[in-house]
Amino acid sequence: MNNDIMIIHYSHGGEAPSSLGELVNFAAALASHTGGGVAALLVGTDGCVQASEAARTFRINTHGVDVPVSSLHDTQAIAGCVRDILAGIGVRYLCVTHDVPGSHLAGGLAVYLDACCITAVERISGSAAGIAFERTIMNGKFRMSAGSGGPRTVVTVMPGSFARGGGIAGTTGRGGAVCHQFLNTAGGIVSAGCIPASESDRALDEAEVIIAAGRGIGSRENLSLIRETAGLFRNAAIAGSRPVCDFDWLPYSRQVGMTGRKVSPKMYFACGISGAQQHIAGITGARFIVAVNSDPKAAIFSVADVCIVDDLRGFLPALCERAMTGGVG
Amino acid sequence: MRACCVTMKILVCIKQVPDLDAHLERNESLTWIREGASVGYRMNRYDEFAIEEAVRIRERISGTVIDAVSVGPGRVLSALKRSLEKGVDEVFHIPVDTAGHISAATVSWLIAEFARSRSYDLIVCGVMAEDDMQGIVGPMIAARLGIPSAVSILFEELNETGTAVTVECEVDAESRNRLILDLPCLLTVQTGINRPRYPSLSNVMRAKAKGIAVIDVSGDMTGLRTEINYGLAALPDAKKGIVLNGSREEKADALLKILHERSLL
Ligand SMILES: Cc1cc2nc3c(=O)[nH]c(=O)nc-3n(C[C@H](O)[C@H](O)[C@H](O)COP(=O)(O)OP(=O)(O)OC[C@H]3O[C@@H](n4cnc5c(N)ncnc54)[C@H](O)[C@@H]3O)c2cc1C
Ligand SMILES: Nc1ncnc2c1ncn2[C@@H]1O[C@H](COP(=O)(O)O)[C@@H](O)[C@H]1O
């Protein structure tokens, strides 16, 4: 069978690698355009075991490679190893998860395989010109559509953009799994352990309402507006986007997003937050989203249930004032 | 104590990006944004952290030299000037004849060719550019040069002999990886690793007088595999939820009403 799409699933030791299902669904969507087959290569400390499981679960042919812990973050070595494994296989598309280690690997793979690289893909569509890979850029202000410019393309897939369940249509029977030897041809980098976070601040997990500040609050002093707004609710906590924590206006335990907390409150109120994908990744579990932003084009409005285009420095005091004077009830 | 003669030669890669808070429009060919007086350009914020980390290394290891390089049209000179103000020693401009999107393959190839013969101990990039949001230029430069790389670092410490660097890489909120890389190597720097300082007056004065070297990278780029840009669409296409209208007080009242209805207040 012509396996022209190869999923590269990289278990780098970070968050639970639920991304395999998403990659399979992405690959299935891609295959519906190319008409080719899908296979997967599982890279990790137990890549071969994972490959057998994936072959059973998704009924596709898989490859596995067991990477020693000391080389697990040497993406150069891993890229070299993937290149060697793929040497005899006619792969046109390689699909990798767009997280930080995944993009790292993708950049190396593109160079090693002389492939073009399209990152953070959220949608695929067919067009007269060819398959279009769509990605949002500039904090969600534009969507860029790109096509592959060569016989091989590395695509990184934005987490959360494709479903996790399901599988490849039309595949029956069971796939075979091949276990490969890891040969480190690069070197120059060793893993020296993992440092777990020592956070005990669970406020964001427990709050029913989260009032979140973005760079748009402008100054540390304006956090008082966020606090006052939180005071309107019975059980509210305050949070921030990454820049707000980088400025040290809030501790990192209050950062929401891809590299922060994933929250699921009854209401998330985003104040002066642009809505970059890395922030949105943390609020997909929120049941109701309200956003205030002075820019009507801010991407946060594409996920908010209630949109308020206004300067938060005027709107939040007005909101508190109206709530106190019982304007409505 | 560090040996007397260990010094570092560092290259910081600087990208100039449009100010994303401003109103941006697409260019004629709908492939990138329109240049114009209303669009402000500034240094990619991630790269400010990269410069600051390089400056901190120089403070620890005297004799260290910091170069900065930027690929782009003529306007990127202002970002390079800014990097001088922030403490970079020498700056290099690799001009390209487009104000539009430049692929990561092209940028990484140009920078790798530039860096190849200049024996840098350390190449530092930002973790991501704010405009095209790729996070692959750094890894691609490292792969082209065949040097080890680590991404999204939040801590860095060079060993005493100047042969290796220990870094901590952010993976997610739960954990960081500690890695040891041989030099020369490439690191991409995540925000929060330091607090970029404001330029000192003396650096601002020095930057005024300093020249910017223009680099002509020769070589054949025809074989480079780059993506084809089919164009940009403006977002958000549609707002998902309801938009509150009216005066500020009316909007506040409308929101309070919704919050009451949902028993959130
Ligand atoms: C690997 C990686 C991981 C990341 N992880 C995270 C993460 O976990 N969490 C996270 O948040 N980010 C993360 N980021 C950063 C992310 O890409 C964005 O840069 C960040 O979310 C932007 O934060 P912001 O919206 O507060 O700031 P900006 O993007 O600067 O937006 C500020 C907004 O405020 C609005 N505004 C300005 N003034 C006002 C006013 N007076 N009233 C109302 N609105 C106003 C502006 O219109 C703008 O929309 C990550 C980035 C990378 C590369
Ligand atoms: N045109 C450029 N000139 C110099 N450095 C760049 C350029 N584009 C990207 N970089 C570097 O690569 C990093 C990541 O960019 P990207 O891969 O485009 O997200 C940036 O933070 C810069 O350090």
Q: Taking all residues of chain A, what is their mean pLDDT, rounded to a whole number? A: 91
Quick one: pLDDT at residue B235?
80
Quick one: pLDDT at residue A186?
74
Q: Is A209 exposed, middle or buried (0-12, 13-18, 19+ CB in 10 A)?
A: buried
B104 Cα–ligand 2 center, Å: 8
φ and ψ at B70, to 5 degrees? -140, 135
| % residues pLDDT > 70 (chain B) | 97
Quick one: pLDDT at residue A329?
44
CA A122 to chain centre: 10
DSSP structure class, residue A195: E
Residue of A114, A188, A266 with shortest CB distance to B181: A188
Judged by CB atoms closer than 8 Å, whether chains meet at B249 and A327 is answered as yes
Q: With a cut of 70, say whether residue B132 has pLDDT above it.
A: yes
Q: Which residues contact A229 (CB under 8 A, 6 or more apart)?
A: A211, A269, A271, A316, A319, A320
Judged by CB atoms closer than 8 Å, whether chains meet at A141 and B170 is answered as no
Q: Is B118 exposed, middle or buried (0-12, 13-18, 19+ CB in 10 A)?
A: exposed
Residue B139's closest CA among B147, A185, A116? B147
Best mutation site among B44, B70, B140, B215 for ligand 2, i.e. most ligand atoms within 8 A of its Cβ?
A: B44
Mean pLDDT over A35-47 rounds to 93
B102 Cα–ligand 2 center, Å: 10
Residue of A75, A120, A302 with shortest CB distance to B236: A302
Judged by CB atoms closer than 8 Å, whether chains meet at B169 and A307 is answered as no
What residue type is assigned to position A256 of the chain? V
C-beta of B90 in contact with ligand 2 (< 6 A): no
Report the C-alpha gap between A100 and A123 in whole angstroms: 20
Judged by CB atoms closer than 8 Å, whether chains meet at A143 and B239 is answered as no
Nearest CA to ligand 2 atom 20: B126
Q: With a cut of 50, say whether residue A36 has pLDDT above it.
A: yes
Q: Which of A70, A123, A141, A325 has the highest number of chain B CBs within 10 A, making it the mutation to test binding with B? A: A141
Judged by CB atoms closer than 8 Å, whether chains meet at B104 and A142 is answered as no
Structure confidence at residue B2 as a pLDDT band (50, 70, 90): very low
Q: With a cut of 60, say whether residue B121 has pLDDT above it.
A: yes
Judged by CB atoms closer than 8 Å, whether chains meet at A306 and B105 is answered as no
Structure confidence at residue B80 as a pLDDT band (50, 70, 90): very high
Residue A181's closest CA among A67, A283, A262, A71? A67
Closest CA–CA distance from residue B77 to any residue of chain A (Å): 22
Quick one: pLDDT at residue A166?
72
B/e letters for A268-287, b = 16+ CB within 10 Å, e = fewer, are bbbbbbbbbbbbbbbbeebe
Judged by CB atoms closer than 8 Å, whether chains meet at A143 and B229 is answered as no
A109 Cα–ligand 2 center, Å: 18
**Alpha helix ranges (H) inside chain B:** 45-60, 77-85, 104-116, 137-145, 201-209, 248-261
B18 Cα–ligand 2 center, Å: 13
- Report the nearest atom of ligand 1 relative to the CA of A244: 26
Mean pLDDT over B155-179 rounds to 91
Report the C-alpha gap between B88 and B207 in whole angstroms: 9
A98 Cα–ligand 1 center, Å: 19
Q: What's the Rg (C-alpha) of chain B?
A: 22
Can you name the residues that pair with A289 across neighbouring β-strands? A268
Q: Where are the beta strands (DSSP E) in A243-311?
A: 267-271, 289-293, 306-309
Q: With a cut of 60, say whether residue A74 has pLDDT above it.
A: yes
Q: Taking all residues of chain B, what is their mean pLDDT, rounded to a whole number? A: 93
User: What CA–CA distances, in Å, run from A172 to A3, A33, A55, A84, B142?
Assistant: 15, 20, 11, 29, 42
Q: With a cut of 70, say whether residue B238 has pLDDT above it.
A: no
Query: Three-state SS string across B123-138, please?
Result: EEEECCCCCCCCCCHH
Q: With a cut of 60, say whether residue A1 has pLDDT above it.
A: no
Strand (E) or helix (H) holding A153: strand A153-157
Report the chain A residue with the minimal C-alpha distance to residue B24.
A141
Report the C-alpha gap between A58 and A52 in whole angstroms: 10
Partners of A267 on chain B (C-beta within 8 Å) are 259, 262, 264
Nearest CA to ligand 2 atom 7: B15
Per-residue pLDDT tens for B83-105? Answer: 999 999 999 999 998 889 999 99
Partners of B168 on chain A (C-beta within 8 Å) are 195
Structure confidence at residue A15 as a pLDDT band (50, 70, 90): low
φ and ψ at B250, to 5 degrees? -65, -40
Quick one: pLDDT at residue A200?
75
Per-residue pLDDT tens for B170-208? Answer: 988 778 899 999 999 999 999 999 999 999 999 999 999
DSSP structure class, residue A256: B
Strand (E) or helix (H) holding A298: none
A120 Cα–ligand 2 center, Å: 16
Quick one: pLDDT at residue B239?
74
Structure confidence at residue B1 as a pLDDT band (50, 70, 90): very low
Q: With a cut of 80, say whether residue A3 has pLDDT above it.
A: no
Can you give the length of chain B in residues?
Answer: 265
Quick one: pLDDT at residue B200?
95
| % residues pLDDT > 90 (chain A) | 75
Judged by CB atoms closer than 8 Å, whether chains meet at A137 and B132 is answered as yes
C-beta of A222 in contact with ligand 1 (< 6 A): no
Quick one: pLDDT at residue B7?
85
Quick one: pLDDT at residue B240?
78
Closest CA–CA distance from residue B194 to any residue of chain A (Å): 8
- Report the nearest atom of ligand 1 relative to the CA of A260: 8
Q: With a cut of 80, say whether residue A45 has pLDDT above it.
A: yes
Quick one: pLDDT at residue B128?
96
Residue of B168, B231, B253 with shortest CB distance to A145: B231
Q: With a cut of 60, say whether residue A256 has pLDDT above it.
A: yes
Structure confidence at residue A16 as a pLDDT band (50, 70, 90): low
Per-residue pLDDT tens for A155-187? Answer: 999 988 998 877 776 666 678 999 999 988 777
C-beta of B135 in contact with ligand 2 (< 6 A): yes
Report the C-alpha gap between B71 and B129 in whole angstroms: 13
| % residues pLDDT > 70 (chain A) | 94
Partners of B244 on chain A (C-beta within 8 Å) are 306-308
Per-residue pLDDT tens for A118-144? Answer: 999 999 998 777 899 999 999 889 999
Tokens of B122: 């350390």
Please state whether the peptide bond connecting residue B95 to the residue before it is cis, i.e. omega within 30 degrees of 0: no
Residue of B23, B170, B180 with shortest CB distance to A190: B180
Q: What's the Rg (C-alpha) of chain A?
A: 23
Lowest mean pLDDT among A72-81, A166-175, B65-74: A166-175
Q: With a cut of 90, say whether residue B219 has pLDDT above it.
A: no
Strands A142-147 and A130-137: antiparallel
Q: Which of A92, A158, A259, A295 has the highest number of chain B CBs within 10 A, making it the mutation to test binding with B? A: A259
Mean pLDDT over A68-91 rounds to 90
Per-residue pLDDT tens for A204-247? Answer: 999 999 999 999 999 999 999 999 999 999 999 999 999 999 99
Q: With a cut of 90, say whether residue B244 has pLDDT above it.
A: yes
Report the chain A residue with the minimal C-alpha distance to residue B258.
A306
Report the C-alpha gap between A109 and A88 in whole angstroms: 16
Cβ contacts from A onto B, under 8 A: 305
Structure confidence at residue B3 as a pLDDT band (50, 70, 90): very low
Partners of A274 on chain B (C-beta within 8 Å) are 20-21
First and final CA of chain A: distance in angstroms? 66
Per-residue pLDDT tens for B30-48? Answer: 999 999 888 999 999 999 9
Judged by CB atoms closer than 8 Å, whether chains meet at A315 and B248 is answered as yes
Q: What is the ipTM of this complex?
A: 0.94
